[in-house]
Structure 1
Amino acid sequence: MILNVVIDDQLLELNVPEAFMEQAHDFFAKMDADMDQGWQVDREWIEKPDTMLRAQIAANKLFTALENEDHKLGRLMAGYIVSRIPNVESVELNPAGETRDHRINIEQAATDDAPPSSAEIAHPGIPQGLNKMQAMAQAAKDVSKVFKVGKQYRFSVYNHAKDSWEDSPAIADKAQAEAMREHAFKARFDALCG
């Protein structure tokens, strides 16, 4: 199977062969057993991560593996996502965001019990279905400007589900922080447009 991964508008097609999935079955089961014990997701301890959050945790590890050119770990994480969410269409990795900011896009089933949209998963609690002008105004409220903390830069994104602001990771370069903020802004705008 091919898992489509998008990073900064760049599409990667990761090949996850069926034979590899069978060989990695025990590894995937061990990952699930570890997550059954609870998991630290950014600054929050989650007692029982659900299937989608587990996929986002794997997506976060996939992003790190791709950054470090760790092909074995990357294939394992891609395989885990495909094995747990068989109807995955693509994974959008957000370099500026946290674990929950990685979007797992699911093929929409033609049934009434279709899974929640990727916007609802990646940005829980946000208003959806806004027109472009409303979405632009709301995204401007939800994603702060870049600000300096010591010698590093950050920006914040409002989490509607938790009714709180979440800071980006510390970024050494202001231009990079602005680029990452722009990416977060676009992701929020797209989610608001629903």
Structure 2
Amino acid sequence: MLLNLIIGEYSMDMEIQDDYLETMTDSFDKMDREMRQGVQLGQQWVGDPTQLQRCQVAADKLLSAIENNNETLAMLTGGYIVSHLSDIKQIKINTEGEPAETEFH
């Protein structure tokens, strides 16, 4: 699957293979278990995050991974989002420190 990322004025495509998604289900499940404990979403603590909020947290980590050239974390967080939002084609990642403003299309 090709996922378009919009980061400020920058646009890039990220390819996530179906077989990668299949092999990472245990890791995605672990991420879900950890996020069920609550997440920090920008300035706000969310005790019981929705699926959308979990994906916004993952998108924020994806942004950090891209900024730090951490391909492993980028693939993990991108794969997590794709596995939870099956019809997703594009992510507009908020770069102003407000992950709750990140949009999924």
Per-residue deviation, 1:89: 2.2
Per-residue deviation, 1:44: 1.9
TM-score by length of 2: 0.94
Per-residue deviation, 1:100: 0.6
Matches within 5 A, 1:52-91: 52-91=52-91
**What letter is aligned with 2:82?**
V
Q: What's the C-alpha RMSD, in Å, of the aligned pairs?
A: 1.1
**What letter is aligned with 1:24?**
M
**What letter is aligned with 1:44?**
Q
Q: Deviations over 1:101-147 (max 9, x none)?
A: 21112xxxxxxxxxxxxxxxxxxxxxxxxxxxxxxxxxxxxxxxxxx
For residue 97 of structure 1, give the secondary structure of its aligned residue in structure 2. Answer: coil
Per-residue deviation, 1:49: 0.5
**What letter is aligned with 2:46?**
I
Matches within 5 A, 1:99-110: 99-105=99-105
Aligned length: 105
- Alpha-carbon distance in 2 for matches of 1:43, 1:94: 14
The runs of 4+ residues in structure 1 deviating greater than 6 Å are none
Structure 1: give runs of 5+ residues left out of the alignment: 106-194
TM-score by length of 1: 0.52
**What letter is aligned with 2:59?**
A
Higher relative contact order (CA 8 A, sep 6+): 2
Structure of larger gyration radius: 1
- Percent identical: 33
